[in-house]
Chains A and B, each alone.
Chain A
Amino acid sequence: GNEGESDSGNGSSNESGNNEASSGDESGGNDENDSAEASGEAVTLQLGHNLAEDHPVHLGLERFAEVVDEESDGTMEIDIYPNAVLGDEREVLEQVQGGGVDLTKVSASALEGFASQYAVFSLPYVFEDEEHFFEAMNSETTQNLFEETEEQGFIGLTWYDSGARSFYTQDTPIEHPDDLEGMRMRVMDSQTQIDMMEALGGAPTPMPYNEIYTGLQQGVVDGAESNPTALTNGNHGEVAKAFSFDEHARIPDLLVVSADAWNELTDEQQEIMNTASEESTEYQIELWAEAVDEAMVEAEEEMGVEFHYPDKEPFREAVEPMHEEYRQDENIAELMDAFEELR
């Protein structure tokens, strides 16, 4: 346990008001920070997320905290709580909405239930490749989307790369959608993921993340889908030996901030947060690429996982009817068109 490393001096910082609700009261200001009067009152913001401390996104968030600290001359502090200690993604997001927590990292797929247009990121083959994905995530369209949820109590700050999701099974490679026929494939708890799996011909099987390992080991499910780091971080490579890069979805992680907390920040402070989030994204993208490379090497050499590279075209064709269906939601259609233009 070295959670404490992520943030210096968490002990004393907690004593002052540490979130938006109390940063305005008499205990919120630290008079000692006169040097930083330009950035307004000192604030400590809480950031909770569900990933381990060696995860690239956590490291990205640490960079975010560092830059915020530097740029604000120490008057702004980000207190990070990793490992889902404040709750799972949905729960921490609820706390962000209610003002109990200031910031959180959520998968875009977890946002579907809060703002339906976010389903666009969970649709298969919305992005052509990594380049297109990056382009789309950095576009004005996404920036506008980030701001749309202010009424729901949170605002998107930036995104982090979570790679491309592909299928992996005990031993049968998925070279073509036909190979999914009759396969019980674990999917995340979300309607888009169920629809995707049905569109591709597999039997969607929702299952808690923590049950996947045993599920694959005993054959309760025939396969699952994620990016290659699941093979090593979740040890799934011990029980799933065929990984097929069909790269059906790229679902980003998003850094969101409570709308109340955001609106209590001064313009300078908001600027600092924006600068820091941009920098952290650039940093995280590099770390992510490294992590995927390392995971693949480890999975191949130490776990004996075989990687397969199927032709993606048949997969793309199979999900076209699904795209049409989701386009009936105007917001999603608009987003898809905007992303399409960036191809």
Chain B
Amino acid sequence: MDIAVQGALLLFGSFFLLLAIGVPISISIGIASLSTVILTLPLNTILFTAAQNFVGGINSFALLAVIFFILSGSIMNNGGIAIRLVNLAKIIAGRLPGSLAHTNVVGNMLFGSISGSAVAAAAAIGSVMSPMQEKEGYKKSYSAAVNIASSPIGLLIPPSGALIIYSLVSGGTSISALFMAGYLPGILMGLGVMFVAYRIAKKEDYKTQVTLPLREKFSVILQAVPSLFMIVVVIGGIVGGIFTATEGAAVAVLYSLILAIVYKSLKFSDVPKIMRETVVMTGIVLFLVGASSVMSWAMAVTRIPNAISDAILGVSQNEIVILLIIMFTLLVIGTFMDLTPAILIFTPIFLPIVTTIGVDPVHFGIIMVFNLAIGIMTPPVGSALFVGCSVGGVTIEAVIPTLIKIFTVLIILLAMVVFIPQISLIIPELLGLL
């Protein structure tokens, strides 16, 4: 048997077996990788090269965005920013049936426009929204599903750690172009979730909020301005060339800290909790990244990426078919793999294939992130799903039926994003970034 096929069978076979019995994902990835390279390399070189790859995978400037966005998200989560954004979202989306659900979606979009972490959005906005919705008689599974499905919008709407990492691994694709390309697909994702939320709300007869008097509206907007001014500071600073996107994530930390102090909603006693959250979550994500780098190496040594690309191009040369295969593959990958490692492993495999059929690297970055954003809300491994269920006080089983309805719409939207490049590319083109 061809070594690549043998390797691939061993790699994925042992990975799924270990995963199924409950071995931590990072360790499953590591062991699967070693069991593959043992076909071609002696053990003594495998161990130190795997160790080196573990560090090498993390030794990247762009990955600083991960810890900075987790930290700023955690500060915002504790810092009274969420409630002000939710109040603003109420004004924007308060007149639709199931208005609190729409408020949640818009809240996640607003939060996402200043934060680069889906988990932080799910936690921050979800924890403000779920008690309100429960009081209004919304089903917990409904409000949690809506929160989960809209929390990854901030991965598309800039700033976005996911797009920074894609920019790096795709060989320097313009991060400004990627950021601008994310706006429309992000908004589209939000509208998609709202569409499903609206239909369910009508059926369940969820209430519409009373509208606020003009003066109160004004005060709510005023209260949210400092939070939203972060868009100007962070995105403006990046586009204006004052700092790089990665450095912008550190600026977001500083700004969220200032906001939390200005809003007087961060106590000194919150600091240990914020640090613990940040360090542990960073550790989990980046340890996965290190393990994924071991997997990339194992795949390269056994030439699995070549085999994958030969297999895809062997099925068809038709670009629609190729894109559909990649889209489907990424959806499957997203079910069990976290977003960051998936971007790091699969961008180098898929990008060369799609560029040969004329897909713009900026467009493909949006496809990757949209695709894998769906993955983080699916079981068995979905960080937004886990956090969203935990702040919403529901089990994973309970939210699944509603989530499946939303997935249907999101997958249709994904197909639109895949096959209509203009959705992604029009804004960067208009701004002269492409």
A87 touches B4 (CB 8 A): no
B317 in contact (CB, < 8 A) = no
Q: Mark A1-44, 1 if CB is under 8 A from B, else 0.
A: 10110000011101101110110000000000000000000000
Interface residues of A in 120-148 (CB under 8 A from B): none
B297 touches A214 (CB 8 A): no
Q: Mark A214-254, 1 if CB is under 8 A from B, else 0.
A: 11011110000000000000110000000000000000000
B176 touches A98 (CB 8 A): no
Contact status of A85 and B300, CB under 8 A, knowing A14-B3, A220-B241: yes
Q: Which residues of A contact B358 (CB under 8 A)?
A: none
Q: Which of A3, A81, A83, A217 interacts with B433 by CB under 8 Å?
A: A217
Instruction: Identify the closest chain A residue to B308 (Cβ).
Output: A1
Q: Which residues of B contact A100 (CB under 8 A)?
A: 41, 45-46, 48-49
A298 in contact (CB, < 8 A) = no
Contact status of A219 and B241, CB under 8 A, knowing A11-B4, A214-B174: yes
A94 in contact (CB, < 8 A) = yes
Contact status of A11 and B48, CB under 8 A, knowing A21-B42, A87-B297, A217-B433: no
Q: How far is the CB of A169 from chain B (nearest CB, A)?
A: 13
Contact status of A22 and B42, CB under 8 A, knowing A15-B3, A91-B56, A214-B174: yes
A95 in contact (CB, < 8 A) = yes
- Complex Cα distance, B167 from A207, in Å, reads 14
Q: Mark B346-382, 1 if CB is under 8 A from A, else 0.
A: 0011001100100000000000000000000000000
Interface residues of B in 253-311 (CB under 8 A from A): 296-297, 300-303, 305-306, 309-310
A334 in contact (CB, < 8 A) = no
Q: How far is the CB of B215 from chain A (nearest CB, A)?
A: 41
B174 touches A213 (CB 8 A): yes
B44 touches A212 (CB 8 A): no
B175 in contact (CB, < 8 A) = yes
Q: How far is the CB of A103 from chain B (nearest CB, A)?
A: 14
Q: Mark B235-263, 1 if CB is under 8 A from A, else 0.
A: 00011111111100000000000000000
- Complex Cα distance, B239 from A175, in Å, reads 29
- How many A-B pairs with Cβ below 8 Å? 120
A218 touches B306 (CB 8 A): no
- Complex Cα distance, B433 from A264, in Å, reads 53
B52 in contact (CB, < 8 A) = yes
A211 touches B61 (CB 8 A): yes
A88 in contact (CB, < 8 A) = yes
Instruction: Identify the closest chain A residue to B239 (Cβ).
Output: A218
Instruction: Identify the closest chain A residue to B351 (Cβ).
Output: A1
Q: How far is the CB of A244 from chain B (nearest CB, A)?
A: 21
Contact status of A211 and B303, CB under 8 A, knowing A86-B297, A98-B49: no
B219 in contact (CB, < 8 A) = no
- Complex Cα distance, B50 from A86, in Å, reads 11
A85 touches B433 (CB 8 A): no
Q: Which residues of B contact A94 (CB under 8 A)?
A: 52
B302 touches A14 (CB 8 A): yes
Q: How far is the CB of A86 from chain B (nearest CB, A)?
A: 6
Q: Which of B40, B49, B241, B306 interacts with A95 by CB under 8 Å?
A: B49
Q: Which of B39, B45, B53, B62 interacts with A14 by CB under 8 Å?
A: B39
Q: Which residues of A contact B2 (CB under 8 A)?
A: 11
**What is the interface size of chain A, counting residues whose CB is below 8 A from a CB of the partner?**
40
A163 in contact (CB, < 8 A) = no
Contact status of A91 and B52, CB under 8 A, knowing A210-B168, A211-B61: yes
Q: Which residues of B contact A314 (CB under 8 A)?
A: none
Q: Mark A187-220, 1 if CB is under 8 A from B, else 0.
A: 0000000000000000000011111111101111
A177 in contact (CB, < 8 A) = no
Instruction: Identify the closest chain B residue to A100 (Cβ).
Output: B45
Q: Mark A89-114, 1 if CB is under 8 A from B, else 0.
A: 00100110011100000000000000
Q: Which residues of B contact A99 (CB under 8 A)?
A: 44-45
B172 in contact (CB, < 8 A) = yes
Q: Which residues of B contact A211 (CB under 8 A)?
A: 61-62, 168, 172, 175, 244, 246
Q: Mark B173-185, 1 if CB is under 8 A from A, else 0.
A: 1111000000000
Q: Which residues of A contact B297 (CB under 8 A)?
A: 85-87
B137 in contact (CB, < 8 A) = no
Q: Which residues of B contact A15 (CB under 8 A)?
A: 3, 39-40
Q: Which of A1, A88, A207 interacts with B306 by CB under 8 Å?
A: A1
A220 touches B306 (CB 8 A): no
Q: Which residues of B contact A220 (CB under 8 A)?
A: 241-244
B244 touches A19 (CB 8 A): no
B22 in contact (CB, < 8 A) = no
Q: Which residues of A contact B246 (CB under 8 A)?
A: 211
Contact status of A86 and B44, CB under 8 A, knowing A208-B168, A210-B171: no
Q: Which of A1, A88, A214 interacts with B244 by CB under 8 Å?
A: A214
* Apart from A212-B172, A214-B245: 11 A-B pairs, beta carbons within 8 A: A12-B3, A15-B39, A15-B40, A18-B41, A19-B45, A208-B60, A211-B246, A213-B172, A218-B239, A218-B241, A220-B241
List 3 A-B pairs, minimum CB-CB distance, nearest first: A219-B241, A85-B300, A218-B241
18 residue pairs of the A-B complex, CB under 8 angstroms, read: A1-B306, A1-B310, A11-B2, A11-B303, A14-B40, A14-B303, A17-B42, A19-B41, A21-B44, A83-B348, A85-B305, A86-B297, A86-B301, A94-B52, A209-B172, A214-B244, A217-B176, A218-B241
